Amino acid sequence: MNKEKGYVYLVGAGPGDPGLLTIKGKECIANAEVLVYDRLVSPKLLDYANPEAELIYVGKSPERHTLKQEEINQLLVEKALAGKVVTRLKGGDPFVFGRGGEEAETLVEHGIPFEVVPGITSAIAVPAYAGIPVTHRDFTSTIGIITGNEDPTKEETSIDWSKLATGMGTLIFLMGMANLPKIVGQLLAHGRPAETPVGLIRWGTRPEQETLVGTLADIVEKAREAAFANPAIIIVGEVVTLREKLRWFEQKPLFGRRIVVTRAREQASALTSALEKLGAQVLEFPAIEIAPPLDWEPVDAAITALPEYQWIIFTSVNGVEQFFRRLLAVGQDVRSLYGLKICAIGPKTREALEKLALKVEYMPEEYVAEAIVEGLKGRVQPGEKVLLPRADIARKALPQALTELGAEVREVTVYRTVKSERKVDRLLSALRNKEIDLVTFTSSSTVRNFVAALPPEEKEPLMEGVRVASIGPITTKTARELGLEVDISAREYTIEGLVKAILEHRSS
């Protein structure tokens, strides 16, 4: 790679669903020093960028251009000649009506090395998400992909409508809603039957996907009545009839729901993944971040004294990870826990311990302090020493109740939950634009820091119409104390329990 001249990657971001980005595309985003991106690129893909990277929005739509194409071309040249690694992130595929060819030509003219990273084109993916295969052996084995932006009535059209209209089984027009009446008129005028099925798909592959089906005879009127607009594709052909049988995306139970996940960035993926698999669009707003304690000395002293303890109680996966990370840092390992009885609060915490080949003596059925202590009665004997490695802001109910059982309890802070400033602007923008249906909370600290991110004078209007889902009674109590109405409370205080509660509320 000639670093002196920089390097440019022309990357297809896919049609909208961030999960459709290629592995190589993700690597190019992560390695970019400058990221130049379009309007149709999912904001979630920007999270893969290096925090130090320069992000430049050059969004274009059929109605408005932030930058003209020539200006985008020159921007790529300017940044590359400055020695930068540039990733040009484009919706769909760069070479399918993405004007990537023009950008590549400009780079060649200036002697700038580049690579093309194909993306999944909306011409194929969007119909698939609407339940329409673009080819099917019982219907057609030919497809045509046509720009919808060219005026089909202009004198020097590059489209041969006389051959196109009946020459292929499936016709796919990209970004052609403004020209829909003219496209339909040309197809009818050149022999395509009026009863030919037509599908219009807007915001395809995204939770706000909309599909409108008709025929060449009535689709223009249907689109007008529905105020159907770009970004959309037009698909013409008998394969459209398969939608009624094959539609799958819109059938997902959380399809169309836009949900905020407030867990720490390190732990958000499990909840995010579960919700996305059910069809939801997730905005991760890490209201908290996990940080090391300000002073490791109390933890180190507790590690040194481990042979003196009879019990060690882990209340979270974070507690497990941070404790054992420190255990290794001071030159010890799991053998230091020999002889200790281990209590795990919650199945995920137990799972984290079992991955370390540690046997869990006891896991309560409920994950609040009162129930935990009730289950430990008769197990923890008076005079026994109990070590509690956990967060700095953990409730005092558990150590107090254990003390009442006669145990000698030592709490040590193995991690802190601190307020995150990441993505506050994106969160507030989504709330102001009424783009959020539900906010999830998995701890009291996520509630407190979420509320702190809301301007006090805007809290009520921002949360109007937004549902709140809580993982358990302590979190619910905190939310209500801070003025949030809790609509959904998990009966099982786990991520799985929270997702189940959201589904039950959705179907009620």
The set of catalytic residues is 38, 60, 175
Q: Measured between alpha carbons, how far is 170 from 136 in angstroms, rounded to an integer?
A: 10
List, as one string, the DSSP characters of 382-427: TT-EEEEEEETT--SHHHHHHHHTT-EEEEEEEEEEEE--TTHHHH
Helices marked H in 154-235 — which ranges?
161-167, 180-189, 219-226
Tokens of 397: 């109910």
CB 170 within 8 A of CB 240: no
- What type of residue sits at position 26? K
Q: Which H or E element spans position 268?
A: helix 268-277
Residue 146's nearest CA partner among 132, 157, 156, 138 is 157
Q: How far apart are the first and last CA of the chain?
A: 58
- Per the omega criterion (within 30 degrees of 0), is the bond before 231 cis? yes
Choose among 339, 312, 332, 285: nearest CA to 410. Answer: 312
Q: Strand pairing of 114-117 and 7-12?
A: parallel
* Coil, helix or strand at residue 194: coil
- Strand, helix or coil for residue 118: coil
Note whether 397 and 345 are within 8 A (CB): no
- 362 forms beta bridges with 343
